[in-house]
Amino acid sequence: MSDSISIRSLGSRVGETVRLLGWIRNHRSSGKIAFLIVRDGTGEVQVVVARHEVDEATWQTVTDRVAYECSVVVEGVVRADERSPSGVELTASRVEVLGDSSNDYPIQLKDAGVDFLLSKRHLWLRTSRQTAIMRIRDEVIKAIHDYFYDHDFVLVDTPILTGSIGESAGTLFETEYFDLGTAYLAQTGQLYVEAAAAALGKVYCFGPTFRAEKSKTRRHLTEFWMVEPEVAWLDSEGNMRLQEEFVTAIVGRVLERRLPELEVLERDTEPLRAVVPPFDRLSYAEAVEFLVSKGSEVTWGDDLGAEDEAILTEGRSKPLFVFDYPKSAKAFYMKENPEDPTTVKCNDLLAPEGYGEIIGGSQREDDLDKLTARIHEEGLPEEAYDWYLDLRRYGTFVHSGFGLGLERTVSWICGLPHLREAIAFPRMMSRLDP
């Protein structure tokens, strides 16, 4: 089928006779003329079928046999058409159905509930809104790999199945692992990239992570992708600068290469264009003071919730760093702040427009005694962390890193209210299929 061409490439073939393979997105016909919208994954195009210009088989096909999402081969001449988004349409000489569909195609143009659409996710993906999101997600991922490659980071894949545990016990998926007992599905690759940073300097992991959290908010998925860079000899201040540059590079890349898809999503791109360094910064203490002045009941020591984040970012056009949280609110591995041992050298990065936290980052505790004490305080099993403590026993080093949630970032850039559309096959408390 190598003599067919993609719909995206039609613009350069005006006047030529071409052959397309694709699916019928929509169709209508009168007695003398029929219009088909054909999509092929690279774009869509209107196909005009005039009864007097085609043979009887083609006319029968377009009036009686085509149905939503049937697959077709179309031959015809490319015409310039200023009214169409793609700038072209096709005047058909032949249309043939390759794979039938039916009039009860599950996803019709009329509105369907989200739960129904999720149950038909394998078909819902074919709609123009969903393909636009998938292409932007792909661009974000490629921008991430390119950024790190160009800055001499090494991708180090960290294990999913692990005997150690990362952050929050109690929200771990478990599985039986041969004769070795229980394995857990990783919630983070961080402990492993810390080991890799001592070997390779600048590293990152990028893979799926899992939270068995009984949470039903629009900001949570059970299975989501996270990218986690880790850098030797980088402190908390440098870590925030890296985050600024990295997020700016991702947003800039989507604006540069995925404007048509942002347009399909009707995304206002003005706020995205404001994403340039330096980002705004508030210490946790300043943030709490501000929140209290706005009537929040947060008190020093609490972690900040989604509502607090919304108040903090209201009216801002850039992402906002909140840094140096209380030790009690954050994970055991964060470095104690030498200037205020009740806090740790860490930051969250909050997206503007109410999208909330997209990054959590920190300098890591590099002092063996302090880290060991924190593991005991948290009641974590020291044996499981013995290898991790080795990184402080043998040539400990200043290092920092962060985790950026892919679906949260894609949702923000695409302007999606819920994470579930930012991944092809979302997993949530109530959804494991398809």
Question: Any idea what the Cα angle at residue 34 is, between residues 30 and 38, rounded to 5°?
Answer: 145
Nearer to its own copies, 239 or 313 (CB): 239
Nearer to its own copies, 51 or 427 (CB): 427
Closest contact distance (angstroms) between CB of 97 and its own copies is 9
Query: Is there a contact between 203 and 242 (Cβ–Cβ < 8 Å)?
Result: no
Query: Is there a contact between 180 and 163 (Cβ–Cβ < 8 Å)?
Result: yes
Q: How far apart are CA 101 and CA 197, in angstroms?
A: 53
Q: Residues 330-359: x/- map of binding to its own copies (CB under 8 A)?
A: ------------------------------
Nearer to its own copies, 9 or 342 (CB): 9
Residues 238-267 close enough to bind its own copies by CB under 8 A: 238
Among 42, 248, 269, 372, binds its own copies (CB under 8 A): 42
398 binds its own copies (CB under 8 A): yes
Residues 199-228 close enough to bind its own copies by CB under 8 A: 199-202, 207-208, 210, 212, 214, 222-223, 225
Residues 105-164 close enough to bind its own copies by CB under 8 A: 105-106, 120, 122-123, 125-126, 130-131, 134-135, 137-138, 141-142, 145, 149, 152, 154-164
Q: Tokens 């060991």 correspond to what residue?
A: 372
Cα R_g (the chain), whole angstroms: 26
Closest contact distance (angstroms) between CB of 134 and its own copies is 6
Nearer to its own copies, 29 or 101 (CB): 101
Q: Tokens 């299929």 correspond to what residue?
A: 433
Q: 320-323 and 346-351 as β-strands: parallel, antiparallel, unpaired?
A: antiparallel
Among 50, 98, 259, 274, binds its own copies (CB under 8 A): 98
Residues 179-198 close enough to bind its own copies by CB under 8 A: 180, 183, 185, 192, 195-198
What is the SS3 string spanning 342-406? Answer: CEECEEEEEECCCCEEEEEEEEECCCHHHHHHHHHHCCCCHHHHHHHHHHHHCCCCCEEEEEEEH
Query: Is there a contact between 396 and 364 (Cβ–Cβ < 8 Å)?
Result: no
Interacting span for its own copies (CB under 8 A) from 3-11, 50-58, 329-337, 354-362: 3-11
Q: Residues 368-397: x/- map of binding to its own copies (CB under 8 A)?
A: -------------------xx-xxxxxxxx
Q: For residue 185, which phi and psi values (nearest 5 degrees)?
A: -85, 130
Q: How far apart are CA 10 and CA 208, in angstroms?
A: 37
Nearer to its own copies, 213 or 280 (CB): 213
